[in-house]
Structure 1
Amino acid sequence: MQRETTGLLSPGTHVVEVDGLSQRYHVYGSGPVCLAVPGGPGVIWESLRTPALEEFLTMVYVEPLGTGGAQRLSSHPHGYTRERYARNLLGLLDALSLPRAYLLGHSHGGFVAQYFALRHPDRLSGLVLFGSAPVTGPEHMAEAGARVQEFVERNEGQPELPRVLAGLQAVGGATDDEQITAALRDLLPAYLAHYWAREHEFKAWRETLTCTYISGLDEDLTPDTVDDRDALPSLGVPTLVVVGRYDVICGPRWAQELNDLIPGSRLVVLENSGHLAHVEEPEQFAAAIRDFVTETSV
């Protein structure tokens, strides 16, 4: 198998073997290497593609195990824990012969990135937590419920609002790829700051989004919950926290808490974005990361 970093970081789609499983990833751009982990879990990797970042970074868009065309575990749809995803990230860095790289995690990908950074800080030049949170569970869900209510009040009278709310309800009951994809497309306006005012920009993108059903349970059907509050104050990796002002699922409350917990981190709030700032304010999003890379690569 080819192990030269140059070839494995050339533009295009690549596959390497990690722990006996095929790990697929997609390379665009040039500059310092940044691994990008999408959300969900299960949302297609293209959902995180950001051409504005590719102008100054070699973006390695990771296709997480079990998602899209990536190889599935024998326990699918179970077993996709943060530990399992982090193990594959470490294996990918090794396969690419990269002693260090930047790591960008969005949403659930942020949970994975936090886990990885706490255990392998020596392998990171910097960490970008985008739309992430220090915890999941009842407290996180209660905050999300309050933020959804704010979204409803801002968009009262929109004819499509019932469809969006039905999509949000359907996510929890989805049990296959078709159901979770339909729910994602239905709820998408809640993840954007001003969807209906900019529908001409986002409608086609919305209709092409796909998601793989990942249960969120370990192989023994135990929930893979997140609570990094006690650990994050020990994080020694330069960290940028990015959040959209109107993010309903991992909003400013959680970004501020991450920023307070992580020593020396910096916080950027994008005022005209929801959970998907990289498509709503791509230039501002990229500028924040460019500044962070410039400061940490000196």
Structure 2
Amino acid sequence: MFNETMVRVCHDPLVMLFVASTAGPAERALLVIHGGPDWDHSYLREPLSQWGDRCRILLPDLRGCGRSTRDLSKEEYTWDAMVADLVALLDATGTSVTDVLGFSTGGLIAQRLALAAPHRIRRLVIASSSVLPVPADAFAAWQERDNRYAAGADLGPDPTGLSGPDLVRAWARTSAPVDVWRPEALPDHLQRLDAVRFSGDWADLWQAGVLPSARPENALQRLAALGIPILLLHGRYDMTFPAQLAVQTAAQIPVARAVILDEAGHMAHIDQPDQWLTALADFLH
């Protein structure tokens, strides 16, 4: 279903992106930006593989992630460089205009891409992410969230003392019960985590306190001014980005809509794959 290639997106330094793509019609493209950022794209292949003949799907591993170029010098790890890579990827694949889906941290990068190259984007999906900042007390007194973090300690090694890919994998596994809402979806999520090629390039900078937030400044006002239609696709029980922020954003951007999926958490595409795809189809028709 997916073709796998390496695409050069930067010459100095040399940066190659690993890209999984479908052979759908190029005039209907969907660029999918994974989260983490120290994950790869693979956990998002399903249920998107069902759209192989509907549109051309581009699923890159971002710089420093997965099978793309890693171990760059620290100054090469910036959000602007990541956005420039994605624009270069569109150029290299002959994609003049695309729909964009950004998941989790990828949703913040997608906003940056829209602000940098609005003429390249037809519609924007911000999935399990947010436009508005997450309040410091967003999850205060949510006992269920605390219980799930405690339960996750049994699913992976203690992150204390780990670094690099080992640390990121430990974070992912110990937060697994927080990321999916339905207990019966947890085995699927853990299986996907086993296949992810985690890196630590971005986490190293974050731990050193030198990685700024990926969130664009004044994103709400700037995105509203662009007029690009936006779907805020969210699980009701997302314990990373509160679902209420999607509702608040949609109320303030005339061309935005929020779809909140019941019985779904942060990994809403795993909790409710059919509903997730239906919401995408209704928006990207």
TM exceeding 0.5: yes
Q: Could you tell me which of 137, 143, 150 is aligned with 1:149?
A: 143
Q: 1:162 to 1:236 in 2, by over 3 A?
A: closer
1:262-294 deviation line (CA, Å, top 9, x unaligned): 331111111111111112211111111111111
Aligned to 1:5: none
The residue that corresponds to 1:75 in the other structure is 73
- Pick from 204, 209, 212: which aligns with 2:191? 204
1:215 offset after TM fit, Å? 3.0
Counterpart check, 1:38 vs 2:34: yes
1:24 to 18, 22, 27: 18
Residues 137-286 of structure 1 correspond to what in structure 2 (within 5 A)?
139-143=134-138, 145-146=139-140, 149-152=143-146, 161=151, 163=153, 170=159, 175-195=163-183, 197-213=184-200, 214-215=202-203, 217=205, 222-225=210-213, 226=215, 227=217, 228-286=219-277
SS in 2 for 1:231: helix
Q: What is the SS of the residue equivalent to 2:52?
A: helix
Q: Deviation digits for residues 28-72 of structure 1, max 9, x if unmatched?
A: 252421010100111121011132343522211011001011102
Aligned to 1:4: none
Structure 1 residues 291 and 135: alpha-carbon distance in aligned structure 2, compared to 1, 3 A threshold: closer
Distance 1:109 1:48 in 2: 11
| TM-fit CA distance, 1:254 | 2.1
Using a 3 Å threshold, how does the CA distance of structure 1 residues 119 and 204 change in structure 2: closer, same or farther?
closer
Q: How far apart are 1:142 and its partner, in Å?
A: 3.4
Cα distance, 1:164–1:36 mapped onto 2, change above 3 Å: farther
Say if 1:148 and 1:43 are closer, same or farther in 2 by CA, change over 3 A: farther
| Alignment gaps of 5+ in structure 1 | 1-9
Question: C-alpha displacement at 1:174, in angstroms?
Answer: 5.5
The answer to which of 205-214 and 278-287 deviates more is 205-214
The Cα of 1:93 is off from its aligned counterpart by 0.8
| Letter paired with 1:35 | L
* 1:185–1:207 CA contact under 8 A, matched in 2: no
Rounded Cα–Cα distance in structure 1 between residues aligned with 2:155 and 2:131: 25
Q: In 1, distance between residues paired with 2:204 and 2:111?
A: 17
Count of aligned residue pairs for this structure pair? 273
CA distance in 1, matches of 2:144, 2:272: 21
1:13–1:235 CA distance, 2 compared to 1 (3 A): same
Q: What 5-or-longer segments of structure 2 have no aligned partner?
A: none
Partner-residue secondary structure (3-state), 2:140: helix
TM-score scaled to structure 2, two decimals? Answer: 0.84
CA drift of 1:208 comes to 3.3
Distance 1:115-1:263 versus aligned 2 partners, 3 A rule: farther
Give the secondary-structure state (helix, strand or coil) at the position aligned to 2:100. strand
Name the Cα RMSD after superposition.
Answer: 2.9
**Letter paired with 1:161:** A
Identity %: 24
Paired position in structure 2 for 1:107: 104
Q: Please give the alpha-carbon distance, in whole angstroms, between the structure 1 residues aligned to 2:191 and 2:92.
A: 36
Distance 1:57 1:282, change over 3 A: farther
Give the 3 Å change call, closer, same or farther, for CA 40–125 of structure 1 in structure 2: same
Corresponding residue of 1:7: none
How much has 1:13 moved relative to structure 2? Answer: 0.9
> 1:131: which partner in 2?
128
Letter of the 1:205 counterpart: R
Instruction: Classify 1:261/1:34 alpha carbon distance in 2 versus 1 (closer, same or farther; 3 Å).
Output: same
